[in-house]
Structure 1
């Protein structure tokens, strides 16, 4: 199902991840309980098989070990909790789960209001310079493939 993505990841130098830092199923389950919904299947596949990554100066958010979740700024729940504490942010973006913030010009997030029949959320790009939001990819796996293609170094 993700064969093309696996091939790209095996040959890229643009994205870095730490081998053997995979996420445990129980961490994903804990995160989903707190969030109140299931994370997209392709994102869970990524977490279980790769766990984490850096690209273009930013972390693709992960699910950290529960004991570090309150301090790890690469953890999707940590960032989500910070966002929820900002009432203005929550009023403006109630269906946003941040995923990747590579620099000050853009950020990527799951659109929680648009779950498809496979349980996938689209990944949206927020162009901060132009104050525009648009769909970047239909699924997390397509998001990763597109990022790899745009930062081609394989």
Structure 2
């Protein structure tokens, strides 16, 4: 499993060179209340590595792909918010109710947590879906982010 320390080093190495994240002091870092509201809307607890990411970086992009964040206020205009995207994808039947959407791209791929399976650390595996094809992409959000930064093609 990818450690937070390994991920921090990789983010620092690629920052400004394909990786554009905020900071812990940015207005995008969610409050505990917004985290709880988001978890209520999506029907599950968010995994620790995802919460670490949004608390430390607020959100951002990896090679132009937005990693869905927790917006300060959820509205119909919050298209980059994890709850907004998850609700929309579920309602349209693109993902099942146990999926929490974390990223999608111009290649028609949707990356999501499979909340039906959780490890001892509270992490969910991340799957990638393209059309009817789905496969496991990473063991955790940290693993997903590491893989997207280090090898965006795979």
Alignment TM-score, normalising by the size of structure 2 = 0.85
In the other structure, the counterpart of 2:6 is: 4
Provide the secondary structure at the position in 2 that maps to 1:108: strand
Residue correspondences, number: 146
Residues 127 and 84 of structure 1: CA distance in aligned 2, closer, same or farther (over 3 Å): closer
Provide the secondary structure at the position in 2 that maps to 1:26: helix
Q: Which sections of structure 2, spanning at least 5 residues, go unmatched?
A: none
- Is the aligned partner of 1:15 residue 2:19? yes
In the other structure, the counterpart of 2:78 is: 72
Q: Which has the higher helix share?
A: 1
Provide the secondary structure at the position in 2 that maps to 1:45: helix
Which of 108, 121, 125 aligns to 1:122? It is: 125
CA distance in 2, matches of 1:82, 1:7: 34
Structure 1 residue 104: deviation in Å? Answer: 2.9
Alignment TM-score, normalising by the size of structure 1 = 0.85
Quote the RMSD (CA, aligned, Å). Answer: 1.9
Q: Which sections of structure 1, spanning at least 5 residues, go unmatched?
A: none
Provide the secondary structure at the position in 2 that maps to 1:6: helix
- Contact 1:55/1:102 (<8 A) preserved: no
Provide the secondary structure at the position in 2 that maps to 1:103: coil
CA distance in 2, matches of 1:146, 1:80: 22
> Structure 1, residues 24-60: CA drift from partner, whole Å, max 9, x if none?
2221111112223210011001010011111233211
